[in-house]
């Protein structure tokens, strides 16, 4: 098989991500495990967004709402588990299934209304809906309201996994990332995925060849929401905290940036984008307190110049390498 | 039933609606004509407030401060348009969202750099700091009445501009058929810059009028921006008339809803539940309204023809 | 196969379709011609359901389809090719046709199997590509095809939905002589197997292929008849007065 720099780099990235806790432990900097853990969680969020944005062409500006739902399921659950002694509400499996179910339901309701609109209306409505949920969270005084809620405990996986160990949590996140990547791979190459791609490419044509476009989009929307809800569960475990800020609309913006930065409509793009985004954020904020002054324009420039995102650049790298190695071989002869 | 409170809150609702209209009119024009989603419109609102605050401090007069701030906003908008936004007209909405989102981050930091992280205070101008007696012996803050008056005047001027002048005709034509207008030999670039400048001035005006009664702080644009989006969606993107009607409705429902919801809820459920649920639900009111309207009319109340 | 009855459609003050009626027999190629602005594309849009007529009915295969939405008309056997190329530019040629096949191969709530390796979709797609002469270009990204190849792809996609009737909206538009000849051959090959409604400007093509011709002027159907009769029709000649002798 021909050598492809792109595949090489992506493989390296995934292996590196897998090895982070080991490396962090060996240099005694557990901070890195936490940092990269966050990357994994947001990668899952970006993978789910990529399904509807990258492959389906639906610019949803309210995707962080599912992170919020997942987070609050854990927050509310563990709150009552500890405060009221209702043990099952602290159970991790309960958190996962309830978060997925509620997120799917929310996706169904939001999608059913939003997907009847197009273009800028769709963007604004998804934004408005996520604000609605944001305000519900702000208004829930019992669960901390605007200040949020500290978690008394992490999700209890009854002996299978001890999430209070940061490394265990890391590998749980990593496992879910791999699972969501695989799911994304299968979904986007299936008939269902082809329908999504076609709808993004030319909606009018899809309708005229006989596809009832709305229902496929809605299902995709629900699936994306469910996966992101799962990421939300992991997120609150990671930070031991939940607050409305998790689903502030700027978080939805961050998810879009990660997805586009990595390369929309590609499998590993979201992961690359999330890692790049958070690394950049980490680096820049270390240099100057006014890092957003640079980050902002950087985004603008990326949008203008780097179509196809980082993955697009890797594809170009592949092409360059191919030409380069062909030239090298002919020279030798 | 506290009628006085109702009247007060109705007026407050109209006042809020007027501010929303100023923002929405600019945003909807810019979208209708240039097909540009500008998330940074809230930043223009913020700059209006900050410019006004600074000029007021320098000149010791709110009126002078506002008069200086208005052209400053317009200039600011024009510069922004030429440097950053021009390239976005031909791009997808997704690209526009991303780029203008980046601009928001930039402007917030920019403001922090120059004016510091703590918000600013603009005192009410002395002349208008009192209250005026309306009918039934009710007193209402003079400044807020001025906001309403200014807003209605601007709405009227906009109406004249769009329906009676040549530029207005170009704007209306541009909204329904971009290529036609440029084929007619009109300098499209200039038209776009002017429209954007107008939108920026309107947003800045809203910002400077809001400044004395709300806090001038970083990020003040984002909260009101989203409500502005709701207004535009309800009114019909690209329609100024729609923006006016929707802005007043949204302003009214949001303000009056917030004050009276606990009481209204209290009619159906216990006061305890009403008090806890009310704040959350009042924030949701305008979104519920939006969802209802879109369910019946997905293009808003007054979608411009040819949309 | 298709009956258009007293169709009327106006846009504002403009009467695009003026009490138009004609019938297309099963297995024939029926051409609709007329000067620019005669309302031919509006006619097609009403037949596909993209535009709703103000009054009149459309009967397809014995059913009144006047109120049926666009995607369901396709399920009934009506397929259309577009005047302006309307394909999936970022997907491969093969993918394009396979999607059209997929649209009529049951529902698409299949989430697991790789659709690009599914013979149920890929093989028929290749067959249709062969029918229009595009099998060599199957792997190319559709956006990179030449103009003529786009038109061929349009037809392949329409065929892939296994229609009973094909609506062709100016398939020859913008084609050079070589490409046009290839297209005529393709259409000749399709004639016996399908009913075809053809909108075209190219008179040579129309008179070579058509079994029946309807002539439209300003939204009105001024004549519907066999090609030879149309050629001699006084009103038709009057409509084309000043242009080259009809079909010569």
Nearest CB among B103, B222, B237 relative to A300 is that of B103
Nearest CB among A194, A197, A204 relative to C86 is that of A204
* Cα gap B144→B129, rounded to integer Å: 10
Whether residues A210 and C103 touch (CB distance < 8 A) is answered with yes
Query: Alpha-carbon torsion A8, A12, A13, A18, what sign?
Result: positive
Nearest CB among B31, B233, B298 relative to A116 is that of B298
Specify whether the CB–CB gap between A189 and C114 falls below 8 A: yes
Whether residues B229 and A128 touch (CB distance < 8 A) is answered with yes
How far, in whole angstroms, is CA A89 from its chain's centroid? 25
Judged against a pLDDT cut of 80, whether residue B63 lies above it is answered with yes
pLDDT score, position C171? 82
In a domain, B298, yes or no: no
- Written as six digits, the tokens of C240 are 């084309």
Q: What φ, ψ does residue C22 adopt, rounded to 5°? A: -165, 170
Q: How many domains does one find in chain B?
A: 1
Q: Given the structure tokens 């299936």, which residue do they identify?
A: A190
Pick among A123, A140, A143, A309 to test the B interface (most B CBs inside 10 A): A123
Cβ under 8 Å to A: B residues 110-169: 110, 112-113
Q: What φ, ψ does residue C169 adopt, rounded to 5°? A: -100, 100
Q: What φ, ψ does residue A49 adopt, rounded to 5°? A: -65, -35
In a domain, B209, yes or no: yes
- Three-state SS at C113: coil
Domain that holds residue B39: 10-218
Q: Per mean pLDDT, which range of A276-280, B158-162, B202-206 is the poorest?
A: B158-162
Q: How confident is the model at residue A326 (pLDDT cuts 50, 70, 90)?
A: confident
- Three-state SS at B134: coil
Specify whether the CB–CB gap between A132 and A68 falls below 8 A: no
In a domain, B234, yes or no: no
Query: Mind listing the pLDDT tens digit for each residue in C198-222?
Result: 888 888 888 888 888 888 888 887 8
| C33 Cα to chain A: minimum distance (Å) | 24
User: Which of left, alpha, beta for C230 (phi over 0: left; psi -120 to 50: alpha)?
Assistant: alpha
Termini Cα distance of chain B: 44
What letter would DSSP give residue C141?
A: B
Q: What is the CA radius of gyration of chain C?
A: 18
Q: Tell me if chain A has a CB within 8 Å of the CB of B275.
A: no
- Written as six digits, the tokens of A185 are 């791979």
Strand extents, DSSP E, C94-142: none
In a domain, B87, yes or no: yes
**Minimal Cα distance from A202: which residue of C?**
C88
- Percent of chain B past pLDDT 90, that is, above it, reads 28
Query: Mind listing the pLDDT tens digit for each residue in C143-171?
Result: 898 888 888 898 888 888 888 888 888 88
* Cα gap A303→A297, rounded to integer Å: 10
**Minimal Cα distance from A208: which residue of C?**
C71
Q: State the average pLDDT over residues A46-54.
A: 96
Judged against a pLDDT cut of 80, whether residue B83 lies above it is answered with yes
Q: A292-305 vs A269-287: helix axis angle to the nearest 10?
A: 150
Q: How confident is the model at residue C241 (pLDDT cuts 50, 70, 90)?
A: low
* pTM of the predicted protein model: 0.86
- Written as six digits, the tokens of B139 are 């007193």
User: How many alpha carbons lie under 13 Å from residue B207 in its C-beta half-sphere?
Assistant: 38
Query: Mind listing the pLDDT tens digit for each residue in C11-38?
Result: 877 888 888 888 888 888 898 888 777 7
Judged against a pLDDT cut of 90, whether residue B161 lies above it is answered with no
Q: What φ, ψ does residue C16 adopt, rounded to 5°? A: -80, -35
pLDDT score, position C248? 44
Judged against a pLDDT cut of 80, whether residue B181 lies above it is answered with no
Judged against a pLDDT cut of 50, whether residue B236 lies above it is answered with yes
Count interface pairs A-B at CB distance under 8 A: 126
- Three-state SS at C98: helix
Q: State the average pLDDT over residues C108-112.
A: 87
In a domain, B211, yes or no: yes
Whether residues B97 and A296 touch (CB distance < 8 A) is answered with no
Contacts of A284 in chain B (CB under 8 A): none
Binding partners of B (≥3 Cβ pairs within 8 A):
A
Highest mean pLDDT among A117-121, B191-195, C236-240 belongs to B191-195
- Written as six digits, the tokens of A220 are 């995709």
Nearest CB among B91, B106, B233 relative to A292 is that of B106
How is domain C1-77+164-248 classified at the CATH fold level? Rossmann fold (3.40.50)
- Written as six digits, the tokens of C43 are 């006619």
Binding partners of A (≥3 Cβ pairs within 8 A):
B, C
How is A31-52 classified by DSSP, letter by letter?
Answer: HHHHHHHHHHHHHHHHHHHHII
* Cα gap A188→B52, rounded to integer Å: 52
Among B205, B284, B252, which residue's Cα sits nearest to residue B26?
A: B205
Contacts of A121 in chain B (CB under 8 A): 233, 237, 294, 298-300
Judged against a pLDDT cut of 50, whether residue A166 lies above it is answered with yes
In a domain, B16, yes or no: yes
- Domains (ranges, CATH) in chain A? 5-332 (1.10.3470)
Count interface pairs A-C at CB distance under 8 A: 90
Task: Share the mean pLDDT of chain B.
Answer: 85
* Cα gap C206→C208, rounded to integer Å: 5
* Cα gap A256→B100, rounded to integer Å: 13
Give the β-pairing of B139-141 and C63-64: unpaired
Measured CA angle at B35 (ends B33, B38), to 5 deg: 105
Largest CA distance in chain A: 79
Domain coordinates of chain C in residue numbers? 1-77+164-248, 87-162
* Cα gap B1→A319, rounded to integer Å: 74
Among B5, B97, B136, which residue's Cα sits nearest to residue A126?
A: B97
Q: What φ, ψ does residue A149 adopt, rounded to 5°? A: -130, 130
Among B162, B142, B255, B252, which residue's Cα sits nearest to residue B202?
A: B162
Q: How confident is the model at residue A87 (pLDDT cuts 50, 70, 90)?
A: confident
* Cα gap C81→C86, rounded to integer Å: 8
Highest mean pLDDT among A98-112, A117-131, A278-292 belongs to A98-112
* Cα gap C113→A216, rounded to integer Å: 17
Q: Tell me if chain A has a CB within 8 Å of the CB of B294.
A: yes
In a domain, B162, yes or no: yes
In a domain, B258, yes or no: no
* Cα gap B148→B140, rounded to integer Å: 12
- Written as six digits, the tokens of C40 are 């031919």
């Amino acid at each position: 098989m021909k050598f492809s720099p792109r595949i090489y780099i992506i493989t390296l990235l995934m292996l590196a991500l897998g090895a982070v806790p080991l490396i962090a432990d060996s240099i005694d900097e557990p901070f890195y495990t936490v940092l990269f853990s966050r990357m994994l969680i947001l990668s899952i969020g970006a993978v789910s967004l990529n399904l509807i944005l990258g492959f389906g062409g639906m610019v949803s500006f309210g995707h962080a709402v599912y992170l919020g739902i997942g987070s609050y399921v854990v927050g509310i659950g563990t709150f009552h588990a500890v405060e009221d002694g209702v043990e099952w509400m602290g159970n991790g499996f309960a958190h996962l299934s309830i978060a997925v179910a509620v997120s799917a339901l929310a996706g169904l309701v939001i999608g059913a209304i939003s997907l009847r609109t197009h273009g800028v209306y769709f963007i604004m409505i998804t934004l408005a809906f996520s604000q609605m949920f944001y305000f519900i969270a702000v208004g829930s005084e019992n669960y901390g309201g605007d200040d949020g809620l500290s978690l008394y405990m992490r999700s209890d996986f009854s002996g299978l996994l001890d999430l209070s160990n940061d490394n265990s949590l890391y590998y749980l996140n990593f496992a879910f990332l791999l699972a969501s990547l695989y799911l994304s791979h299968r979904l986007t190459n299936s008939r269902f995925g082809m329908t999504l791609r076609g709808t993004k490419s030319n909606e009018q044509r899809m309708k005229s060849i006989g596809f009832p476009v709305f229902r496929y989009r809605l299902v995709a929307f629900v699936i994306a929401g469910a996966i992101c809800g799962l990421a939300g569960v992991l997120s609150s475990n990671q930070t031991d905290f939940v607050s409305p800020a998790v689903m502030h609309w700027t978080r939805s913006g961050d998810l879009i940036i990660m997805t586009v930065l990595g390369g929309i409509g590609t499998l590993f793009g979201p992961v690359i984008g999330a890692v790049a985004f958070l690394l950049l954020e980490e680096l820049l904020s270390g240099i100057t307190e006014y890092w957003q002054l640079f980050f902002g324009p950087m985004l603008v420039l990326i949008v203008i110049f780097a179509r196809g995102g980082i993955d697009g650049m890797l594809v170009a790298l592949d092409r360059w390498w191919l030409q380069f190695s062909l030239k090298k071989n002919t020279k030798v002869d | 039933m506290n009628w006085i409170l109702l009247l007060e809150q109705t007026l407050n609702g109209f006042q809020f609606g007027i501010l929303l209209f100023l923002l929405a009119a600019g945003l909807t024009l810019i979208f209708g004509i240039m097909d540009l989603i500008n998330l940074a419109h809230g930043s223009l609102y913020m700059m209006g407030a900050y410019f006004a605050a600074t000029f007021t401090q320098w000149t010791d007069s709110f009126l002078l401060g506002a008069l200086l701030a208005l052209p400053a906003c317009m200039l600011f908008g024009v510069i922004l348009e030429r440097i950053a936004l021009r390239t976005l007209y031909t791009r997808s909405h997704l690209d526009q969202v991303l780029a203008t989102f980046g601009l928001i981050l930039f402007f917030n930091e920019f403001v922090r750099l120059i004016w510091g992280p703590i918000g600013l205070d603009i005192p009410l101008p002395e002349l208008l700091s009192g209250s005026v007696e309306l009918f039934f012996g009710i007193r209402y803050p003079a400044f807020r009445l001025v906001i309403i008056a200014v807003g209605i005047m601007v709405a009227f001027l906009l109406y004249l501009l769009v329906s009676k002048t040549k530029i207005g005709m170009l704007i209306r034509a541009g909204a329904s058929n971009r290529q036609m207008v440029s084929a007619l030999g009109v300098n499209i670039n200039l038209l776009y810059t002017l429209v954007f400048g107008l939108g920026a001035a309107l947003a800045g005006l809203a910002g400077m009028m809001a400044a004395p009664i709300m806090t001038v702080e970083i990020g003040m644009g984002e909260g009101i921006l989203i409500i502005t989006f709701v207004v535009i969606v309800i009114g019909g993107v690209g329609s100024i008339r729609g923006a006016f009607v929707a802005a007043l409705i949204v302003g009214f429902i949001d303000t009056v809803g917030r004050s009276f919801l606990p009481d209204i809820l209290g009619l159906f459920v216990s006061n305890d539940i009403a008090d806890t649920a009310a704040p959350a639900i009042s924030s949701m009111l305008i979104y519920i309204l939006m969802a209802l309207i879109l369910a019946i009319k997905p293009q808003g109340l007054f979608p411009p023809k040819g949309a | 196969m298709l009956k258009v009855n007293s169709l009327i459609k106006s846009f504002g003050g403009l009467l695009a379709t003026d009490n138009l009626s004609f019938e297309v027999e099963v297995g024939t190629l029926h051409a609709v011609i007329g000067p620019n602005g005669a309302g031919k594309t509006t006619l097609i849009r009403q037949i596909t359901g993209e535009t709703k007529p103000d009054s009149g009915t459309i009967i397809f295969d014995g059913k009144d389809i006047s109120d049926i939405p666009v995607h369901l008309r396709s399920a009934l056997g009506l397929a259309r090719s577009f005047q302006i190329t309307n394909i999936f530019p970022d997907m491969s040629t093969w993918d394009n046709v396979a999607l059209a096949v997929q649209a009529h191969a049951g529902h698409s709530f299949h989430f697991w199997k790789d659709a690009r390796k599914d013979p149920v979709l890929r093989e028929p797609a290749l067959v249709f590509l062969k029918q229009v002469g595009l099998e060599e270009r199957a792997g190319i990204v559709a956006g990179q095809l030449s103009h003529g190849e786009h038109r061929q792809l349009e037809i392949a996609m329409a065929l892939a939905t296994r229609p009973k009737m094909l609506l062709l909206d100016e398939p020859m538009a913008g084609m050079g002589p070589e490409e046009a000849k290839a297209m005529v051959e393709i259409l000749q090959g399709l004639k016996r197997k399908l009913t075809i409604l053809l909108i075209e400007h190219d008179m040579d093509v129309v008179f070579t292929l058509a079994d029946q011709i309807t002539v439209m002027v300003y939204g009105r159907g001024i004549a519907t008849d066999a090609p030879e009769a149309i050629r001699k029709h006084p009103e038709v000649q009057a409509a084309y007065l000043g242009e080259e002798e009809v079909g010569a």
